[in-house]
Structure formats: C-alpha cells, structure tokens
Structure 1
Amino acid sequence: MNDVVVPDATHAAAPAARRILTQALFETRTLLRNGEQLLVSIILPTLVLIGMATAPFLGFDPGDASRIDFTAPGVLALAVVSSAFTSQAIATAFDRRNGVLRLLATTPLGRGGLLAGKALAVLGVLLVQVVVLSGVAVLLGWRPDPAGILPAAGILLLGTACFTALAMLLAGTVRAEGVLAVANLVWILLVVGGGLVVPPDRLGPVGPLAAALPSGALGDATRAALLDGAVPVAPVLILLGWTTALTLLATRLFRWS
C-alpha cells in the first residue's frame, strides 16, 4: 500500500518575492480604483498644479523662476504626501479595523511581506503620479534642471519612506474613523502651511515651523534639486531625521488589530 504524501504548506507556498509582488499589485489596483484615494492622489494635486501655475489672482510670486518651474517640484512633493501618507493611512486603518491585517499576517505572506507589499504599492502609485503630474507640467512649459532629476528622485523616495512611516504610525494606533478625519485634515494643513507648495520662507510667522516639518524639508529639497540642480544639506538631514524617528515609532507602536 502506497504511503499518502501530505504536502508541506511551507513548500507549497509561492516564493516570497512572488507573494510580495502579488500583494503589491493588489494594493496598487485597490488604491487606484478607489475614487476617494484617486481624488487625493492624482486629481487634487493636478488641480493644485494647474491652479498655481496659471491663475494670477492667487497672488503667487515665483521670484526669478517661471510659475510652472517653481510650482511643479512642490506639487511632486505634495504627491508623495498624498499617496504615502493620506491614502496609505486610510487604507491601512480600515484594513486593520476589518481584521484584514491580522488575517494576512497569519498567511505565508507574513507581516514582513505585507508591509513590503504596501511599500511597493506606494511606489507604484507614486510612479503613476509622477508620470501624470510631470506630463501635465511639461505641457504647461515646465523645464526642470536636468542635473537635479536624479537627486530629486532620491529625495522623493526618502520623502515616501518618511510619510509612509507616519501613515503606519497613525493607522496602527488610532481608530479608522479618526484616521480618516486626521489624514485628510493633515493633508489640507500641509498644502496651506506645510511648506510643500509654498516655501517656508514665504509663510510668514509659521515659516520656521514649516521648515522644521518633514513636509517643508521635502518641498525645499525637491525645489532646490529641480530648480537649481542642487541638493541642500539641511532639508535632507531634517527629512532623514524625521524618517528615522517615525520608522522607530511605527515599528514600536503599530498594532495589528
């Protein structure tokens, strides 16, 4: 009589890289198909870009640069906040409330694979945002400094890590309904006075505070790279410090259920 071979669940599972990629593609499709997330991630940043680049009644002074050259880098920084923080915080918070995170953490994907999939999904959405916003900006006459394109890409990736960590910290410690309200409110506050689209040195009394925030550092560093081809040390160090602190806090405080 032949022995019955029982398959080992560990060996039956797909390779880790494939599991993470599958989860990342699922997360990306979910974000891009959600009307509210699409509004925050792509539509609103595009409207901000067009409005600030073309509407003279906003009283926006771009200095020596053209309006579109000055506006586009800040809107790319805003796109990072939209996808890495606002969208990811809301999606993760509701997954946590509905028990999705706890369930997926017990599958072969595991906690590490789940977080890796979410990180790749954020990068996928960010890539879509950069392509769309850059295309619109180029049509409006944007001509970034070629020497600053690669540094700007690195700065945007650092900003993505920073705001993803903030999203995980918020989503893992606050009730889903609270995350929905706080994430959207923070997005509005950062657009108005966070140094993303309007530089901190033009925000009056709140300028020094904005410059010390990760949003102000991200906006200043991205502008410097794409306007002048330079990489300012202070904003990058501020952003790196926030990324380290928020990552440590999110790792320590995040609750899966």
Structure 2
Amino acid sequence: MTVVAKLTTVELKLLTREPGSVFTILVPLFILVVFGSSIPPGDRVLLPMMLALAVGLVGMYQLPTTLATYRERGILRRLSTTPVRPGSMLAVQLILQLVLALTACALLVAVAGTVLGAHVPSQVLPVAGVFLLGTAAMFAVGLLIAALAANGRTANGVGVLLYFPLAYLAGLMQPVDQMPDILARIGAFTPLGAFRQALHDVWAGLSPDPLGLGVMTAYAVIVSLAAARFFRWE
C-alpha cells in the first residue's frame, strides 16, 4: 500500500468518526423527510434544494473546519517533513469531502425517490455536470475560509455565519418567488443560488441558465486561486 493510500485510509476512518460528518448527512435528510411528507408525489423542487443544501454544508462547514484544525494543530507542518507532502493531504481531503457530499446526496435521492415519490430525472449526465460544477464552487469558498481562518473554531464560525445568508439568498429557506426582487437577483449571483437554480433546471428536464453556469465557474476558478494564494500550511 502506498503512502497516499495509507493516508486516505486513515483520513477516511477519522472522517467517519467525525460528528460533523454525521451532521452534514442527517440534517438535510431530516429536513427532506419533515417537509417532503407534505409535498405532492412527483415534486421537482424540494429534492434539488436539499441537494444544494447538503453540498453547501460540506463545502462551507465540514471542509474548512477540518483543514483549519489540521493547520492549527501543526499536522500540515509536520507532514512537510515526511514522504507525505501537505499537498497530498489537501488532495485526499478534497476527495473525501466530495465522497461525503456524494453520500449525503445519494441518500437524499434514494429516500426521496423510493419513500416520498419525488421526481428523479432519467438524464444523468446533465445532473452530474451541474452537481460537479456546483460542488467545485462551494468547495472553493470553503477552501478560502480555511485559508483565511486562524483556527478550526474560527473556520467553523465563519462557515456557519456565511452559510445561512447564502442559503436564504439561494432560496433554500424561502421560495425565490416569495422573496423581494432585489434579493432574488442577488441570490442568482451567489454560488449556492446559482447551484440551486441549475439543479432545479436539470431536474425539470430543462437546460441550465448559462448565467448560472458562468457564476459557478467563476467562483470555482477565481475563489480557488484566491484560496491558493492565501493558504498557509502552518
């Protein structure tokens, strides 16, 4: 087994024991079950919202908290003196956080499709493309939080404080058509808002708005570059 494979195995075990991982999986599922029981079968709105909510929690809560905590404890600095470079740790964490997001979303789709009778699109590729692009945008924001936060507690607090306004603007707490026009327009230019709308479009069998795709791409590229610029290993 290679060094990176051993690192992945260890980090996977730690991730499964992390309470935050359970939180990011169970909270969206709980909301889906509570509100989905009153939604008509075949609904095409609630499930895309829950998928965006789940990815947002992983990207803005779990990911930055983990990385900032590792830096605070000196783990990244100590890795620089071993065959496992800090960059390998970062790559492993990104992969595992993606797996966590996929697990949360797969559970949501399974429960919604089988228990609640929600609509599940048959076209997989458009959904997968939007999902990966939206996840990249949300992870970029999480990486920037991790880069700027002094420690894990700060990253946790900043992520939570930033997540709730973005979730509101994205229409995850109140339907967009019931929001003031100015807030709805602002929400369309947030990573979570663009992600939610693009998921909603492909879920309904429509082509996603190019503006939303451009917004997500911009966040994924520009914010990732900013995170790389400011990221500190110690």
Shift of 1:130: 1.9
Stretch moving more, 104-113 or 217-226: 104-113
| Pairwise CA distance, 1:118 | 1.1
For 1:236 and 1:66, the matched residues in 2 are separated by: 29
Residue matched to 1:92: 67
How far did 1:66 drift? 5.6
Q: 1:237 aligned to 2:214?
A: yes
**2:23 matches 1:34:** no
Structure 1 residue aligned with 2:130: 155
Residue 148 of structure 2 aligns to a residue whose secondary structure is coil
Letter aligned with residue 129 of structure 1? A
For residue 212 of structure 1, the aligned residue among 162, 175, 189 is: 189
Looking at structure 2, the residues matched to 26 and 201 of structure 1 have their Cα atoms a distance apart, in angstroms, of: 46
Look at both structures and tell me which one has the larger radius of gyration over its CA atoms.
1
Q: Work out the CA distance in 1 between the residues paired with 2:158 and 2:184.
A: 22
For residues 67 and 213 of structure 1, do their structure 2 counterparts lie closer, same or farther at Cα, with a shift above 3 Å needed? farther
Q: Work out whether residues 74 and 196 of structure 1, in 8 Å CA contact, stay in contact via their aligned partners in 2.
A: yes
Q: 1:195 to 1:245 in 2, by over 3 A?
A: farther
Aligned-partner SS, 1:127: helix
**CA RMSD, 1 decimal:** 2.2
TM-score, normalization by structure 1? 0.81
Letter in 2 for 1:101: L
Counterpart of 2:203 in structure 1: which amino acid? Answer: L
Farther-moved stretch of structure 1 (115-124 vs 100-109): 100-109
Of 211-220 and 227-236, deviating more is 227-236
Where 1:120 maps in the other structure, the secondary structure is helix
CA distance in structure 2 between the partners assigned to 1:229 and 1:194 by the alignment: 19
Aligned match of 1:190: 166
- TM-score (norm: length of structure 2): 0.89
* Residue identity matched to 1:127: L
Does residue 118 in structure 1 map to residue 106 in structure 2? no
List alignment gaps of at least 5 residues for structure 1.
1-13, 57-64
| 8 Å CA contact 1:81, 1:163 repeated in 2 | yes
The answer to whether the 8 Å contact 2:41/2:119 transfers is no
Aligned residue for 1:48?
31
Q: Paired residue for 1:7?
A: none
Residues 25-75 of structure 1, C-alpha deviation per residue, up to 9 Å, x if partnerless? Answer: 433332232123311x1111112222332347xxxxxxxx86742100111
1:140 and 2:123 matched: no
1:175 aligns with 2:159: no
Classify 1:22/1:98 alpha carbon distance in 2 versus 1 (closer, same or farther; 3 Å).
Answer: same
Mean CA deviation greater in 247-256 or 121-130 = 121-130
Q: How many residues align?
A: 231
Alpha carbons of structure 1 residues 242 and 212: separation in structure 2 relative to 1, 3 Å: same
C-alpha contact 2:86 2:233 (8 A) present in aligned 1: no
Summarize the alignment of residues 52-71 of structure 1 with structure 2, pairs less than 5 Å apart.
52-55=35-38, 68-71=43-46
Q: Gapped runs of 5+ residues in structure 2? A: none
CA contact (8 A) 1:146 1:229 kept: no
The separation in 1 between residues aligned to 2:33 and 2:161, in whole angstroms, is 22
Amino acid at match of 1:34: E
Identity %: 26
Instruction: Classify 1:196/1:102 alpha carbon distance in 2 versus 1 (closer, same or farther; 3 Å).
Output: farther
Deviation of residue 197 (structure 1)? Answer: 6.1
Contact 1:196 1:220 (8 Å CA) reproduced: no
Residue 117 of structure 1: how far off its partner (Å): 0.6
Q: Contact between 1:169 and 1:254, CA under 8 Å: does it hold in 2?
A: yes
Instruction: Name the amino acid aligned to 1:102.
Output: R
SS of the residue 1:228 aligns to: coil
